Structure 1
Amino acid sequence: MTRFLPLFPLNMVVFPGEKLNLHIFEPRYKQLIQECQTTGITFGIPAYLHNKVSALGTEVKLLNIEKIHPKGEMDIKTEGLRIIRILDFFKQAPNKFYPAGTIEEVPDLVNEDWQLKIKINESIRQLYSILGINKIFMKLPNNYRVFDIAHHLGLTTEQEYQLLQCPDELSRQEMVWHHLQKILPVVLETEKLKERVKMNGHFKNAVPPNF
């Protein structure tokens, strides 16, 4: 089933369930957000990659307008709802300033592999431990999805878009697993190199071997 939806292309990939804060400053998108507030409409955020609007995006809803600046700029909070496919893109909706398009919802199968999920969890914890950064698992429920951690995996924008293209959760898990297995050895070797560089010029406690 197709429908007409306002669109807000951005140089990023937005996932279902994601809480996204945006600063709105262009008149066309200020008009869109004002209509979202007064009528409750939603809008789509397709990824703008390689100088064009991509075929896939995420439908989002406005949660709140946090602040309106003196010149009318807005700080807003939004939440991703579902993946959409843009069938037709129009630079301006009828009698509006903002873009729009004919879209259809993309079905999503939640068919995760729990064994693979455990492996992914262990790999991410290992990655964060190597990097010495805060872990996000403290605030993630057991039933979290790949979309909930996708921005924390060191993926490029193009790779995040590939993740959006996956037809189901299992495909996303497999993609993330392969990505982690590829980058973990690289990150580990980089951290070892940094430690060796730090030791340069230091007095070393050299213990000769026993012959």
Structure 2
Amino acid sequence: MTNFIPIFPLSIIVFPGENLNLHIFEPRYKQLITECFEQKKPFGIPAVVNKELKELGTLVEVSEIRKVYDDGKMDITTRGIKVFRTLELVRTIPDKLYSGAIVTYPDDLDDGSRLQMQKVVQGIKELHKLLQVSKDFKKPEDELKSFDVAHHIGLNANEEYELLGLFREAQRQEYLKRHLNKVIPLLSEMEGLKEKVKLNGHFRNLQSFDFDL
């Protein structure tokens, strides 16, 4: 299925199911958000990575306009719906300040493993413990899927975009697991190094070594 959507390119990766807060201040996007909210229609956030507009993005809906300022700026909350692929950019739309795109929606296979996801979540907990951070996933652990946790494991923009382009839950789970298996040992080594640095120059209780001569 293909259709036309208004677009709001941003230098972030938005995942389906994600709640995203935005501050809207440009006139073209104030117009876009006002129309989409009043007409209850979604818009697209194409990913911009390294200042390059990518073909994949996420269709989102305006779930709430939280505040409208005197000058028309807005604080809004959006929610990701599904991934789209851009077929053609429509840079100029009559009577509109914003641009649009002709898009299609790739099929997504929900073939993930609950056991695999449990391993991913356990890895995330270990990662957060090493980093001494605390995160709330807003969902029970047994309901979590890959997109729910993807922003919580330190992926860079290119890696998040790669994840967005995987259209099977099993592939996404494997991607997250491999990332965690790579970074956790590195962080563990860093923690060990930090402890060694802390001990440098301090008295320690060391057991002597007896030479049997």
Q: What's 1:189 paired with?
A: 189
Q: What's 1:50 paired with?
A: 50
Cα offset for 1:96? 0.6
Secondary structure at 2:143 match in 1 = coil
Cα offset for 1:73? 1.4
Cα offset for 1:88? 0.6
| Matched residue type, 1:77 | T
| Matched residue type, 2:122 | E
Secondary structure at 1:75 match in 2 = strand
Secondary structure at 2:16 match in 1 = coil
Q: What's 2:111 paired with?
A: 111
Deviations 1:165-211 (A, max 9, x none): 00210010111111111111101111222222223343323332455
Cα offset for 1:90? 2.2
Identical positions, percent: 43
Cα offset for 1:15? 0.4
Counterparts of 1:7-156 in structure 2, within 5 Å, are 7-136=7-136, 139-156=139-156
CA distance in 2, matches of 1:198, 1:91: 57
Deviations 1:57-92 (A, max 9, x none): 110000111112232211110000011111111223
Cα offset for 1:135? 4.2
CA distance in 1, matches of 2:164, 2:188: 28
Give the 3 Å change call, closer, same or farther, for CA 206–70 of structure 1 in structure 2: farther
Cα offset for 1:104? 1.1
TM-score (norm 2): 0.92
Give the 3 Å change call, closer, same or farther, for CA 93–204 of structure 1 in structure 2: farther
TM-score (norm 1): 0.93
CA distance in 1, matches of 2:122, 2:97: 48
Q: What is the Cα-based RMSD across aligned positions, in Å?
A: 1.7
| Matched residue type, 1:80 | G
Pairs aligned (count): 211
Deviations 1:75-124 (A, max 9, x none): 11000001111111122333211110001112111001233223222222
Give the 3 Å change call, closer, same or farther, for CA 137–60 of structure 1 in structure 2: closer
| Matched residue type, 2:75 | D
Cα offset for 1:137? 5.5
Secondary structure at 1:20 match in 2 = strand
Cα offset for 1:48? 0.9
Q: Which runs of 5+ in 2 are unaligned?
A: none
| Matched residue type, 1:171 | Q
Secondary structure at 2:122 match in 1 = helix
Give the 3 Å change call, closer, same or farther, for CA 75–93 of structure 1 in structure 2: same
| Matched residue type, 1:73 | K
Secondary structure at 1:208 match in 2 = coil
Cα offset for 1:143? 2.2
